[in-house]
Amino acid sequence: MTDMRPELLDELRSLPVEERIELLVASLDEQQQADPDHAEAWIAELKRRIAEVDSGAVKLMDWAQVRARVEERLRTGR
């Protein structure tokens, strides 16, 4: 990720998840003009993942849990 102004990053993080997804999809729409197949694949993947969450097929983890798992894997080399 590129360095962002801290205040912009804080503002983005404060948005509801739905609004963050809308921003991501909007940015993919811009990418679609340059590479339609790539953007369509990302949009399809986002929709698939949203459907999995909505159906209860996957369980979400909060950032603290994810970070702890990543740090553990980095520490142990797994």
pLDDT digits (tens, 9 = 90+) for 30-51: 766 767 777 778 888 888 998 9
In a domain, 18, yes or no: yes
Distant-in-sequence, close-in-space partners of 68: CB < 8 Å, separation ≥ 6: none
Q: 3 or 75: which carries more pLDDT confidence?
A: 75
**3 band by pLDDT with thresholds 50, 70 and 90:** low
In a domain, 64, yes or no: yes
CA distance 36 to 25: 13
Q: Which phi and psi (to 5°) does residue 56 adopt?
A: 85, 10
Cα four-point dihedral sign 73, 67, 38, 35: negative
pLDDT in tens, 49-68: 989 999 999 988 999 999 99
In a domain, 1, yes or no: no
**Would you say residue 26 has pLDDT above 70?**
yes
Count of domains forming the chain? 1
